[in-house]
Structure 1
Amino acid sequence: MSFRIDMSAGELFDLVRPVVTIISALVATWVLASVRRRFPLYVAILVAVVTFLFPLIVFPLYLAVLLLWRRPKYELVRWRFVIPLVFLAGTVGTIAIYKYIDDRRVDSYLSRATMKRVAHDPAAAIGEYQRALEIEESPHTRKLLANTLEEAGLFGEAIIEFRKAEQGGESDDSIPFRLALLLERKNQKKESIVEYKKFLGSKTCKELDYRCEVARQRIEDSEITK
């Protein structure tokens, strides 16, 4: 029996990263408790912080030091368990706050939207784009949302978002062509011809582009059928 995990590399990384971070915090806490029995508190805290940041380097080195250098332990250590627990609580709390803030940044929403599109989940991608727009208005994000709405077959909503992207100053001058195709699908022939004409006057059509010929043909066909 074989199992297939339907998960992108980005989603897997987002899933594994918090687990690895928590493990690093636990290892750093153990190192703090251990170092405190051999060195002053400030040294223990410094080593614990460096261990948290670079666990794969510092932790093996510390274990090697313990094996090779038998430094005498302090028998009586004040707050032996309290300080490591406070360190662990502070570290985990900082991680939780950082993740909460990081997950709600515009870039995080856009990144998740891209991963959802790659995973062929347009509904989830649409939600991520909409949340990004709630935080920061962006004509480019509007265009990305319109693209995803079109992929999901929501042509009316895609037209609205493409127009908002245009009005916001999106530099992609192929939007009129996309709008024309969508308007054709909704049987709005006159409006689509207006968009085709607008596209023919764009910078893109001053260069060689197959869509320009499509637009010209659509305009000619509309004039013949008048």
Structure 2
Amino acid sequence: MNIALIGASGFIGSALRNEALSRGHRVTALVGRPQRLEAAPGLTAFAADVLDTQRLAQQLAGHDAVISAFSGHSQDDVRDYFNRGSAAIVAAVKQAGVPRLLVVGGAGSLEVAPGLQLVDTPEFPAQWKGSALGGRDVLEALRQEPTLDWTYLSPAALIEPGQRTGRYRLGGEQLLVDEAGDSKISVEDYALALIDELEQPAHSRRRFSIAY
């Protein structure tokens, strides 16, 4: 499959890039600094600005799917930048005529109790609140899309480097926790699940979640 991966050099984007390449997919990495990516079979890299919709649409054209691992963590106004960038990505995907968009989502919009989302709990870390609120905004915007075939994967509350085990649970709108009450997933297993979804779509036009 010919995949365009936005944010392919980031924390989750790098894991997605490695997982896709290991399965023989062709990956076009759209990043801020392509020179930082190590060459690999099946990988091409281009500099991209997600806010330049016209240019981005040209770069996305001809791909089978787009995976967005875009985030605004390095920006002063994370939520605003995340929203503007994500809207531009959606517009570019539609303009390019790419049939599918898979989005790396956040855990903040998952429910921890009826009507209560993780990001709205008092103990939610302030340093991640902007990106969590942005992730929730993006999900709601996708749900308003009339025709776009999108999928949004929310990780566990804690996603960190670990092992590619292939042993995890998939869920829906609720935060998944283990018997100890912890919500964790490795970035490697997250990438595995999202590339599985790419290859065998099971969550068209909806969000799903993952955790151990």
Taking structure 1 as the reference length, the TM-score comes to: 0.20
Q: Specify which structure has the higher proportion of strand.
A: 2
Higher RCO (CA 8 Å, separation ≥ 6 residues): 2
TM-score (norm: length of structure 2): 0.21
